[in-house]
Amino acid sequence: MKFTDGFWLTKPGIKLFNCAQVQDARWDGDAFAVYCSFEPVLNRGMTLTGPMLTLRFTAPREGILSVKITNYEGVSRKEPRFTLHTDGGKVKVQEEDDRITLSSGSLSAVVTKEKFSLRFFENGRELTGFGGRHIGCAKTPDGWYIRAKLDVDVGETLYGLGERFTPFVKNGQSVDIWNEDGGTSSDLAYKNIPFYLTNKGYGVFVNSTDRVSFELCSEAVESAQVSLPGHSLELMLIGGGNMKAVVDRYTALTGRPALPPAWSFGLWLTTSFTTDYNEETINEFVDGMAKRDIPLRVFHFDCFWMKPYEWCNFAWDRASFPDPEGMIRRLKARGLKTCVWINPYIGQKSPLFTEGRGKGYFLKRENGDVWQWDMWQAGMAIVDFTNPEVCTWYQEKLKTLLDMGVDSFKTDFGERIPTDCVYSDGSDPVGMHNYYTHLYNKTVFELLERERGKDEACVFARSATAGGQQYPVHWGGDCSSTYVSMAESLRAGLSLCMSGFAFWSHDISGFEDTATEDVYVRWAQFGLLSSHSRLHGSSSYRVPWLFGDHAVKAVRDFSKLKCRLMPYLYTASVHAHQTGTPVMRAMAMEFFGDPACEALDRQYMLGGSLLVAPVFREDGTVDYYLPEGTWTHLLSGETKEGGAWKKETYDLSSLPLFVQENAILPLGQSEEQVDYDYLDGLELHLYRPKEGVPAKIEMTDSKGKRTLTVTMTKQNGKITLTVNGKHRGIAVILHGDKEIRAALAPDQNEITLA
C-alpha cells in the first residue's frame, strides 16, 4: 500500500507517525522491548499525548532476529499463525550510552536512541535498516496500519515472495500477499509467500497470514516497504551471507520440504481438464505411450472422474467407470501409480453437501447459513478445515479412494476463499484467506503419510502460503500454450524456489488452448528437466503423438534421460529436504556474487552441476550465459568456455544443457523407470577436475537404505576417485581433453585415473 505522495507529502486523509526517539528499553518477558516516541521529547508535557510504538526483539533461531512492531496492544483478533520451529535461543543485548546492540549468532541489530535508527549487520557488514521516517504507523480513512521501510542498497536486487509471474527481479513492483486464481499472465498469484531475499545475502520474512503489502523500490525507490492493516507487524531479518544459507535458515524456521517418493519424479500423464474420457480412452493413452517406448509412471484422473455438478463427492462416475477398483488394479499391474483430482469445495448436488451441512462442516455466514456461491459448482460450500472433526471427515472420504488403490491426490484450488464468513474456531476470515490452503494441503498430506507412509506421501498442489513447502509437490497453475507463457511459468517457478519451495512442476505444453508442435517439444524438454514432470491441458489431450513425430521423440528421449539422471536428481532432492536448497535453482542463487546472473530468468541450474536453458523461439535460437569455467554439453560432449553470453541455434532434438567443470555426475542404469536402485549399475561421469579443488557427492538409493559418498581430487595432475560405502561395481568416465574409462570392482574403493 502506498501512503505518500512523493518524497514530502502524504496522500489525502493519511497521517504518518514515525519513530523518532527511544524513551525506554527493558526486558519484557522473553523479549527485549524498545519504546519509541514519534517526536523528540523536550519536556514532560510532551509525554502527555500522542502514540508510542513498541519494538519487541526476539531471536527465533540463531541467525534470525525478529522485531514485532506494535501500536495498540489491546486489540484482539484471532488471526491464524504460521507454525514456526524455534530453537529456544534468546536475543543477546548490550546497552551503551546512545545505542543498544541486539544479536543472534553472527546477526546483530543496532538501535540508536536519541535520534532513532535501526540497522542490521552480519559479521560487522551492514545489510539494511530503518532510518528516520522509515518505521511507524499510519492512520488512514480505512483504519490503522503498521509500516516499515527497509533500505535497499545500490545494486541490490530482491527476489521471491512466492510464485510470481511478473518480472523475476522484484525491484519496482507492488506486491500484495493475497492468494488468487488468476492464471499465469497477471500479477495475481496462487502461491503468495511473505518472504523475500536479496543479493546482499539476507532475507525478510513477515510473520503474518494477513494481506501483507510490499512496495519494493516502488513507492520509495530507495527502500522496500512492508505494511499491514491493524496495530501489529512482526518482521524477521534472516542472515546467512548467501541465498542458500538464508533459505536454509528460513526453511528451518517455517518447515523443511518433505522428500517426495522416487516414483513421483517420473512422467505424469493426465486426462486433461474438460475432455471426454473413460477406461477405454485411458488404455489407449497408456498403450500409446508403451508402443512408442515412452516411460510413464503416473496416470492422473482430472475432474470428470466424478459426476458433473457433484464436485466433490469423491465417488467415481460409474457411467464412465463401471469398475474403478478393477481399473486401478489393471493400471497398477502395468506399473503405474494413480492420482485423482480433488478440491475443498462441495457442490450442492453432491450427497456430501447434505451430510456436511447437517454436521456444520462448512464455512458459514454471520447469520448461521452455509456460505455458498456458484463460482465453480452450483451452490457450492467450502469445507471448514479449522475444525479437527471436519479434517477427519474429509480424510475418511479420501481414505475410501486410497483403499481402492489410489496413490496420490491433486489438491486443486484453495485460493477463492471468502472474507465475509465465519469459521468454527472463530479465526479471523481475512487472516484465514491465505492460510486456508495450508490447512487443506496439510489435511490431505497427513492422510497420505498415515496411510501410505512418510516415504510415499505426495500431492500435486496449486495454492500455498508460507510453510506450504512441507507438502510437495506444487505446480504452476493455468498457463497458455505459447513460448511467452512458458517463459512466465519458468520465472514464476524460480521465484517460488527462492521462497523455500524445493520441488515444482508445470503443465507441459501449456494448459489453455493447444500448442504447436515446436512449443510442445521445447516445453517437454523444459518439463522433463524440472523436478517433476506432467503432461496436462484443458480442452484437448496432451499425448505427444497428437502433436507429431518430433513431439514423440522429445518426450521419449527426455523421459529416458530423466530416468538415467535419477541418481543425480534424487541426491539433489535429499539435499533439498535437508537444507531447503531447491532442486531447480536460479542462477543468482547458485552463482551468488556473479552480477551477470542476478537477472537471469530464462535459464536455471538443475541441482548444482547441470545448467538448463530452455528454448523459447520457433527458430531454435537461444541466448544464454555460462558462468566462469569450462562447460561440457551433456548430450553432444562439446565444451565451451564460460564467463560469457552465447547465442546459438538448436534443432528440435536438443537445447543448451551443460555440465559444470569439476562435477561428479552420477547416471543410473535404467532408461525405463525413475524408481530403481540408483547405486546398482552406477556410472560416475567426472567433468574436468580442478587442481586442488575437491568435489564430493553423497548419494542414496531410492529407498534411503544405502548411501555412497564419492570424492574426486586432483593434485599435481593426478586424479583420484574415492568411494565410501558398499557398491556392486561402478563404471567411471572422465571427461576432459580426452575421455578415459575405468571401473571400480565391488571390493575396490579408490582408483587413480591420470
Q: What is the pLDDT of residues 265-315, one digit of tens each?
A: 999 999 999 999 999 999 999 999 999 999 999 999 999 999 999 999 999
Residues 6+ apart with CB under 8 A from 240: 63, 122, 201, 202, 203, 246, 247, 248, 249
Map 648-702 to HEC letters. Answer: EECCCCCCCEEECCCEEEEECCCCCCCCCCCCCCCEEEEECCCCCCCEEEEEECC
The one-letter amino acid code at 7 reads: F
How do 621-626 and 644-649 pair as beta strands?
antiparallel
Asked whether residue 166 is assigned to any structural domain, the reply reads: no
Four-CA torsion 694, 695, 701, 707, nearest 10 degrees: 20
Residue 605 sits in the same domain as residue 722: no
Q: What is the pLDDT of residues 474-523, one digit of tens each?
A: 999 999 999 999 999 999 999 999 999 999 999 999 999 999 999 999 99
Q: What is the pLDDT of residue 42?
A: 87
Residue 565 sits in the same domain as residue 637: no
Asked whether residue 3 is assigned to any structural domain, the reply reads: no
Of 543, 565, 580, which residue is a domain's last?
A: 580
Residue 754 has pLDDT above 80, yes or no: no
Asked whether residue 426 is assigned to any structural domain, the reply reads: no
Phi first, then psi, for residue 127 (nearest 5°) are: -100, -55
Of 537, 558, 580, which residue is a domain's last?
A: 580
Residue 685 sits in the same domain as residue 641: no
Residue 320 sits in the same domain as residue 306: yes
Residue 592 sits in the same domain as residue 462: no
Share of the chain above pLDDT 90, in %: 96
Q: What is the pLDDT of residue 50?
A: 77
Mean pLDDT of 254-263: 98
Lowest mean pLDDT among 71-85, 249-263, 349-363, 524-538: 71-85
Q: What is the pLDDT of residues 359-406, one digit of tens each?
A: 999 999 999 999 999 999 999 999 999 999 999 999 999 999 999 999
CATH of the domain at 35: 2.60.40.1760
Q: Specify the number of domains making up the chain.
A: 4
Residues 6+ apart with CB under 8 A from 748: none
Share of the chain above pLDDT 70, in %: 100
Residue 645 sits in the same domain as residue 702: no
Residue 652 has pLDDT above 90, yes or no: yes
Asked whether residue 627 is assigned to any structural domain, the reply reads: yes
Q: How far is CA 590 from the centre of its chain?
A: 16
224 neighbors 127 (Cβ within 8 angstroms): no
Asked whether residue 624 is assigned to any structural domain, the reply reads: yes
Residue 89 has pLDDT above 90, yes or no: no
Mean pLDDT of 145-169: 98
Question: Which domain range does residue 703 map to?
Answer: 677-752
Asked whether residue 161 is assigned to any structural domain, the reply reads: no
Catalytic center residues? 412, 415, 478
C-alpha cell at position 344: 475443498
Residue 606 sits in the same domain as residue 506: no
Q: What is the pLDDT of residue 135?
A: 95
Q: What is the pLDDT of residue 608?
A: 98
Q: What is the pLDDT of residue 263?
A: 98
Residue 128 has pLDDT above 90, yes or no: yes
Q: Is residue 48 very low, low, confident or very high in pLDDT (cuts 50, 70, 90)?
A: confident
Q: What is the pLDDT of residues 421-464, one digit of tens each?
A: 999 999 999 999 999 999 999 999 999 999 999 999 999 999 99
Asked whether residue 444 is assigned to any structural domain, the reply reads: yes
Q: What is the pLDDT of residue 224?
A: 98
Q: What is the pLDDT of residue 86?
A: 97
Q: Is residue 77 very low, low, confident or very high in pLDDT (cuts 50, 70, 90)?
A: confident
Comparing CA positions, the residue from 644, 641, 605 lying closest to residue 623 is 644
Query: What region, left, alpha or beta, does residue 537 occupy, with left being phi > 0 and alpha being psi -120 to 50 degrees?
Result: beta
Residue 570 sits in the same domain as residue 693: no
Q: What is the pLDDT of residue 308?
A: 95
CA distances from 508 to 408, 519, 649 (A): 20, 9, 22
Share the mean pLDDT of the chain.
Answer: 97
Q: What is the pLDDT of residue 221?
A: 96
Residue 632 sits in the same domain as residue 574: no
Asked whether residue 698 is assigned to any structural domain, the reply reads: yes
CATH of the domain at 520: 3.20.20.80
Residue 498 sits in the same domain as residue 441: yes
Comparing CA positions, the residue from 444, 343, 436, 435 lying closest to residue 393 is 444
Q: What is the pLDDT of residue 45?
A: 85
Q: Is 225 exposed, middle or buried, given 0-12, 13-18 or 19+ CB atoms closer than 10 A? A: buried
Mean pLDDT of 158-183: 98
C-alpha cell at position 495: 521465484
Q: What is the pLDDT of residue 683?
A: 98
Residue 134 sits in the same domain as residue 63: yes
Residue 303 sits in the same domain as residue 442: yes
Four-CA torsion 187, 190, 195, 201, nearest 10 degrees: -70
- Listing DSSP states for 320-381 in one string gives T-S-HHHHHHHHHHTT-EEEEEE-SEE-TTSHHHHHHHHHT-B-B-TTSPBP-B-SSSTTBE
Residue 75 has pLDDT above 90, yes or no: no
Residue 742 has pLDDT above 80, yes or no: yes
DSSP for residue 256? P
Helix, strand or coil, per DSSP, at residue 69 = strand
Of 658, 687, 718, which residue is a domain's last?
A: 658
Map 395-463 to HEC letters. Answer: HHHHHHHHHHCCCEEEECCCCCCCCCCECCCCCCHHHHHHHHHHHHHHHHHHHHHHHHCCCCCCECECC
Helix, strand or coil, per DSSP, at residue 469 = helix
Q: What is the pLDDT of residues 574-616, one digit of tens each?
A: 999 999 999 999 999 999 999 999 999 999 999 999 999 999 9
Q: Is residue 20 very low, low, confident or very high in pLDDT (cuts 50, 70, 90)?
A: very high
The one-letter amino acid code at 607 reads: G
Phi first, then psi, for residue 502 (nearest 5°) are: -95, -20
Q: What is the pLDDT of residue 744?
A: 96
Q: What is the pLDDT of residues 695-708, one digit of tens each?
A: 999 999 988 788 99
CATH of the domain at 621: 2.60.40.1180
Comparing CA positions, the residue from 711, 721, 730 lying closest to residue 750 is 721
